Chains A and B, each alone.
Chain A
């Protein structure tokens, strides 16, 4: 347990440490970049369905109300490996990227009644890179423009169950991070011209909140909902020239995060089969910023088959899970103007116990496409593997008094 916790914490350090992004998504150029929608390691295999799912071993990063169902102290870390194939406008590129993408710690204050959780997860990511050539007064030059950074969330969640069938949660969100663009001009060594490197950075720290609820309408049938208001992140701007001159007294900017809401449902068909559907909306149309002019909408359906056995002598298969899902997502972007950018994905997932009834390893595979050559300049074929490790222990457990 301690070793796994250490590894997860080490991985989270990797997540927090700055990386110069070289992989890319063409569609991350705008605003705060591509927003990430991650519910849980379990939900990845189910098409992202999870707003109305409350699993004993699954950390729900979107609906805090789901946390109250976790029976013990848990820590979870998540990583993602993504491979993109870009094509369009006469260009082809293959890019891959692996990174840590979330960590959370859960503590039950009162089992099945009150829960507390803290964690980190990326909210958005900017990763793009362009290059080209040109000249200045007949002196050839090469030019590159790359973007990096994104918005991260540190969060603190509190969930409670006032009634047996209703759970409510609230999450305090702290947005932090920086958005960077790095523009380089390289001249021939003999030209006598100094190379250019201009790094524009927007740094911000701001807060918001999210509320969520889950209601068990009937045994096995659950409804879930989340809402977070819009936020304006006051960002400080700085420009670094040729790595030595930093201009800091520049006017700041306001980065807008849209309000978001989601609704979902999950239903157990028998004891082993869970089906669900979610609908999640980001209200970009209310703030209309930097290419994000329409609401971002995500519709997902998924299922999970698991023996859900808790007996000591039951087989591995009966304690494992298989998942299947599908989602479509409109990013809210128009590239070019008038043409929306959509994602279509199919998903597959598995979950294995690590130790008897205390921990789990979830893998999810997402295969899909972002953009369409019929409407957009670039199509991205994406294969994404997500892994989540959840490790639990019974802390502060009081046995029966004799």
Chain B
């Protein structure tokens, strides 16, 4: 009897023990159900936070500046002519020619890409070819350091027309090629390039005359197609025609007058760049930036854009900008790019992450640098409205943000 009682007690204990374990396991799993209430019964509406939008137009810094002129010898284009305040000439160099033939005739071909011109009125100018008298390197020569190291004697000339690059002939589409036929002096100069001992093969300069009112853009030797080339009519064992592509080329861009003051200018050759810095003090530090768009309005009358478009780059400045042109770029920041073409009127660049770090104070706001994506490429430039040109069209930040209540 006693043993039976003890057994029963032990069984009972075991049951309780297992029950205890089960209940504790349930507690450990901490099961819950979720059923939120509607905000209409929130005790203190101030706990809720708010979402808002604002446009920031207040600029603490807005400057355009030029930096070191960019050598363009490695670029894909060559420019010749005069347009607005800019003038450009072309340098070409052909390495030593073989001396196994006699040169009877020389023709230079330049294939057209596009025009930089005002409106659609037609015009033309004469381009002339001259011998260059001092050495140059395409990686470093610019319109500022070349000087006038060429012989004024004309070796060849051609008419440059303000025509489109492509033309149709029947069912085919062709690229316009400008042709320079060398005269006797020109042929003599080219023939002298067969003598490798002379050491005075510095290439040729293509210049323009005073009639020029536009710039014509040709393909350079750095492209895959349509490179500048000499067609040589030669006599060796038999009469033949040899094509020789240029070995080095560049265009010499000079500024006849300063760029217009006022707009924020971004262009490829004179390293025109702009710095802007917004006043973000109106955005609370604990705000979440849901979206921030940098909006820049294009000043079309001061912009030169090709049909193929133009790309600009945004960099974050790592330290304060020191006028006239001292800046430090944050190399850890992945630069943003934006593409625009002739139809673009407003550029919108998403800068959400950058503005978030600025407002939270994680990184210092020293502003952003706007510059070309392709330095030394061509004559293209984009001008944005500034506070000076039009306060209502100056750069602005459109920010959507949300901010919760101050504390739990």
Contacts and interface: CB of A to CB of B under 8 A. Distances in A.
Interface residues of A, number: 84
Given A194-B289, A200-B404, A131 B38 contact: yes
B27 A99 contact: yes
A14 B27 contact: yes
B201 interface: no
A202 B53 CA distance: 29
B408 to A, nearest CB: 4
B34 A23 contact: yes
B41 A377 contact: yes
Interface string B66-93: 0000000000000000000000000000
SS class, residues of chain B in contact with chain A: mixed
B51 A19 contact: no
B405 interface: yes
B284 to A, nearest CB: 11
A131 B20 contact: no
B122 interface: no
Contacts of A77: 24
B407 A132 contact: no
Nearest to B288: A196
Contact of B37 (A14, A24, A245, A352): A24
Interface residues of B, number: 58
B17 interface: yes
SS class, residues of chain A in contact with chain B: strand
Contact of B404 (A22, A181, A389): A181
A46 interface: no
Contacts of B28: 10-11, 14, 100
Interface of B: 2, 5, 9, 12-13, 16-17, 19-21, 23-24, 26-44, 47-49, 51-53, 285-286, 288-291, 350, 352, 356-357, 360-362, 400, 402-408
Given A237-B407, A316-B12, 11 more contacts: A79-B24, A95-B33, A97-B33, A131-B38, A136-B52, A136-B290, A143-B48, A200-B405, A200-B407, A354-B20, A389-B24
16 contacts: A7-B20, A97-B32, A100-B30, A132-B39, A145-B39, A183-B404, A185-B402, A194-B289, A196-B51, A202-B407, A241-B356, A245-B360, A253-B407, A354-B20, A387-B23, A389-B24
Interface of A: 3-4, 7-8, 10-11, 14, 19, 21-24, 26, 29-30, 77, 79, 81, 86, 88-91, 93-100, 126, 128-132, 134, 136-137, 141, 143-147, 149, 179-181, 183, 185, 187, 192-198, 200-202, 237, 239, 241-242, 245, 247, 253, 291, 313, 316, 335-336, 352, 354-356, 361, 377-378, 387, 389
Across the A-B interface, the 6 shortest Cβ-Cβ residue pairs: A132-B39, A79-B27, A22-B34, A183-B404, A93-B35, A129-B36
